[in-house]
Amino acid sequence: MAEPILGLSGVSKRFGALVVSDDVSLTVAPGELHALIGPNGAGKTTLIHQIAGSLASDAGRIGFCGRDITALPMHERARLGLARSFQITSVVPGFSALENVALAVQARSGSSFRFFGNAAREAALNAQALEALETVALAARADVPAGLLSHGEKRALELAIALAMRPKLLLLDEPMAGTGREESLKLVALLASLKGRYAILLVEHDMHAVFSLADRISVLIYGRIVASGAPDAVRADPTVRAAYLGEEAA
């Protein structure tokens, strides 16, 4: 396998006596969509926090694009190309979809447009923002205030904001949460369209989405990875069937 984009080895986290991440090791390869599943309270969101850097780990090592990022703060990890979407992104409801993404492009570009005049700078920012909106099939809604978008469209907008950061790895924490059947199917199609172009670590409860999208699935139970592999292998794993998926889902 190619050198992984993300590599966790022996990563742990405890809250008091509660061990929430227990010696977790996993990798995400370039272009891979790796899903992390597990029952409520298994520690998935905590692990995403540890990877993004919003929560320090008690033990273990996190490598990203060949660097040891274990001790780096969140903003430095973001600058290196680690983008977290959902549950944190602040969309400004009164700004249009395009303006929201343009803000993210501006944050990423820093002063790189400083030699442009105001109008040219705005045009360049908007062009890149529109490209991100096109990627998530939201270009036709570019001028709509974000607050007026449907729930699924807001999720797509959050994804466009993350993509505008030109990430090397996308951390997606329950993108389907709260979406209806039709919207979640659209989001699955959208994530499928990003497959191979971005490395993605996806935490998701929607098993239809997970099993149709993932190249590999890791199963977390009580903070430990109990199975990891291709969807068919994970589906057939007796530990996973007994402890998590149940006969019906399996």
Which residues of this chain interact with ligand ATP, rule CB under 6 A? 15, 18, 20, 38, 40-46
* Rounded least distance, CB 44 to ligand ATP, Å: 4
CA distances for 69 relative to 8, 18, 208, angstroms? 10, 25, 33
Quick one: tokens of 80? 């290196």
Task: Decide whether 97 or 225 has the Cβ nearer to ligand ATP.
Answer: 225
Give the separation between CA 181 and CA 187, rounded to whole angstroms.
Answer: 10
Residue type, 97: A
Give the separation between CA 221 and CA 213, rounded to whole angstroms.
Answer: 21
* Rounded least distance, CB 126 to ligand ATP, Å: 36
* Rounded least distance, CB 134 to ligand ATP, Å: 31
- Centre a 10 Å sphere on the Cβ of residue 73 and count the other Cβ atoms it contains: 12
Task: Decide whether 153 or 206 has the Cβ nearer to ligand ATP.
Answer: 206
* Rounded least distance, CB 211 to ligand ATP, Å: 17
Task: Decide whether 141 or 155 has the Cβ nearer to ligand ATP.
Answer: 155
Residue with tokens 């780990």: 57
Task: Decide whether 15 or 116 has the Cβ nearer to ligand ATP.
Answer: 15
Task: Decide whether 2 or 17 has the Cβ nearer to ligand ATP.
Answer: 17
Please state whether beta strands 33-37 and 18-28 pair in parallel, antiparallel, or not at all (unpaired): unpaired
Give the separation between CA 242 and CA 61, rounded to whole angstroms.
Answer: 31
* Rounded least distance, CB 24 to ligand ATP, Å: 12
Give the separation between CA 207 and CA 213, rounded to whole angstroms.
Answer: 10
Task: Decide whether 113 or 211 has the Cβ nearer to ligand ATP.
Answer: 211
Give the separation between CA 64 and CA 8, rounded to whole angstroms.
Answer: 9
* Rounded least distance, CB 89 to ligand ATP, Å: 17
Contact between 97 and 142 under an 8 Å Cβ cutoff? The reply is yes
- The helix (run of H) or strand (run of E) holding residue 82 is strand 82-85
